[in-house]
């Protein structure tokens, strides 16, 4: 019997759940209990969450932690982080405190330009199209006046419109390449509305509009975060050897794509956790960042290291299109609380905080990799997850945690110790 259904979106939440349980959970009442267990008792709050997306049946929780002791451009921060991965928050906290005694993190916003494009086909003479574009350019901007009015009051709006010939790569393909400043808004809806208005004004019988859409590749919406100190101030055993191995690890990530992907994933552990906590779009950030990492035609490290005249320097540049007003940032209670925790940052300030979280995470990973190894700290943090999976009691958790103090943690070793305790 088919499980296909029409009109699912029109069912009530209870009806959706009943249909799911009947068709995909073999009428298991435990499935219903689990789904409803994560509903908010506050019906108004639950309705708010239900309205974020379509066909909601429950809420999917992720832990929210805080990494204190970040010193960024002389200002102190406690940084909210939402992630399911063990050791991310601990590593960020440790590194934040480490660098707070060495001048902290320095950040600079290198640009805030965002991009949208109108993609179209034109089979005629290029010179004719160029004349038409020049004639229409003022009208294209004017077509967005009602949309851009409020944004312009805040110092934003359309920066420029260019005609780009892409016919060498795809027959008859051209685009209008439009740059925007959206201030504290991420600006996706604003940009897309402008693009559609521009496309409507630009089209004629010879121009076929294919689509109008913003780009999540924002190489000119860029922020730099860095740390530096004298080598002897690093406070580690044999600091010269430490920085040399650290430098080599970064250089390997610059030339070896297999390593670079994992290297950059570590950066994104910190970045995504704060992006999610503040209600921003982590998929857009991920896509834009990884495109930037491959901008040379080869995927490479986002972070870089230098050792000059006895000074260690570590930095990264990240393209980050973020918002602190509008969207989920203005609706989700914890996203709003995260921004309040960060002292109500502007979009520029949030770029700097998030880039710093990424750099801190990368420093923590490289320091572990080039000294004790990544698994020692990670598996120690992962121990509680393993014990929870085994259903260990509080007494068993305490006993096993004490046993593994100073020892290497592995899943097999934890299971073995758990079984040993339960055989007695």
Segment 144-176, tens digit of pLDDT: 999 999 999 999 999 999 999 999 999 999 999
Helix (H, G, I), strand (E, B) or coil at 165: strand
Would the pTM count as exceeding 0.75? Answer: yes
Contact of 315 with 303, CB cutoff 8 Å: yes
317 labelled catalytic? no
Give me the mean pLDDT over the 171-184 stretch.
98
Question: Does position 183 have pLDDT exceeding 60, yes or no?
Answer: yes
Domains of the chain, by residue range, sit at 8-50, 64-108+223-371, 114-215, 377-423
Catalytic residue from among 378, 380, 382, 417? 378
What is the CATH code for 64-108+223-371? 3.90.770.10
Catalytic residue from among 106, 265, 304, 348? 265
Task: For 49-97, write each residue's pLDDT tens digit.
Answer: 999 999 999 999 999 999 999 999 999 999 999 999 989 999 999 999 9
233 labelled catalytic? no
The closest alpha carbon to 247, from 198, 200, 193, 311, belongs to 311
d(CA 324, CA 311): 36
Confidence of residue 140 (pLDDT cuts 50, 70, 90): very high
Catalytic residue from among 85, 220, 286, 396? 85
- What pLDDT does residue 198 have? 98
- What pLDDT does residue 373 have? 59
d(CA 183, CA 152): 10
- What pLDDT does residue 408 have? 74
85 labelled catalytic? yes
- What pLDDT does residue 421 have? 85
d(CA 210, CA 215): 15
Contact of 65 with 89, CB cutoff 8 Å: yes
165 labelled catalytic? no
Confidence of residue 387 (pLDDT cuts 50, 70, 90): confident
- What pLDDT does residue 374 have? 52
One CATH from 3.30.70.420, 3.90.226.10, 1.10.3720.10, 3.20.20.80 for 114-215: 3.30.70.420
Give the DSSP H or E segment for 229.
strand 222-230
Catalytic residue from among 50, 281, 317, 349? 281
């Amino acid at each position: 019997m088919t499980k296909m259904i029409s009109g699912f979106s029109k069912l009530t939440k209870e009806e959706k759940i009943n249909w799911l349980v009947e068709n995909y959970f073999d009428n298991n009442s435990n499935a219903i209990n689990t789904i409803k267990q994560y509903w908010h008792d506050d019906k108004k709050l639950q309705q708010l969450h239900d309205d974020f997306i379509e066909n909601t049946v429950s809420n999917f929780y992720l832990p929210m932690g805080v990494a204190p002791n970040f010193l960024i451009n002389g200002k102190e921060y406690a940084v909210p982080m939402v992630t399911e991965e063990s050791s991310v928050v601990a590593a960020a906290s440790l590194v934040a405190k480490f660098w707070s005694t060495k001048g902290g993190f320095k950040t600079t916003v290198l640009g805030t330009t965002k991009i949208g494009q109108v993609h179209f086909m034109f089979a005629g003479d290029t010179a004719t199209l160029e004349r038409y574009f020049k004639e229409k350019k003022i009208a294209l901007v004017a077509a967005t006046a009602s949309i851009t009015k409020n944004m312009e009051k805040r110092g934003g709006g359309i920066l420029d419109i260019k005609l780009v010939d892409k016919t060498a790569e795809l027959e008859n393909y051209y685009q209008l390449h439009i740059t925007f400043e959206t201030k504290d808004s991420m600006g996706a809806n604003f940009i897309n509305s402008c693009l559609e208005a521009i496309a409507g004004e630009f089209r004629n019988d010879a121009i076929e509009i294919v689509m109008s859409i913003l780009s999540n590749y924002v190489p000119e919406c860029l922020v730099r975060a860095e740390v530096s100190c004298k080598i002897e101030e690093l406070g580690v055993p044999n600091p010269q050897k430490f920085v040399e191995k650290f430098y080599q690890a970064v250089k390997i990530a610059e030339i070896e794509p297999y390593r670079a992907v994992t290297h950059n994933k570590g950066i994104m552990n910190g970045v995504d956790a704060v992006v999610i906590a503040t209600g921003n779009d982590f998929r857009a950030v991920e896509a834009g960042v990884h495109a930037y990492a491959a901008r040379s035609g080869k995927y490479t490290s986002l972070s870089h290291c230098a050792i000059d005249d006895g000074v260690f320097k570590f930095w990264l540049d990240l393209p980050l299109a973020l918002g602190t007003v509008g969207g989920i940032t203005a609706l989700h209670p914890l996203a709003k609380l995260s921004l309040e925790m960060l002292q109500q940052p502007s979009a520029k300030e949030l770029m700097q905080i998030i880039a710093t979280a990424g750099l801190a995470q990368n420093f923590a990973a490289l320091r572990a990799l080039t000294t004790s190894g990544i698994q020692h700290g990670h598996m120690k943090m992962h121990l509680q997850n393993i014990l929870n999976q085994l259903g260990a009691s509080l007494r068993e958790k305490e006993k096993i945690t004490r046993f593994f103090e100073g020892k290497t943690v592995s899943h097999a070793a934890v299971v073995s110790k758990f079984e040993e305790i339960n055989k007695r």
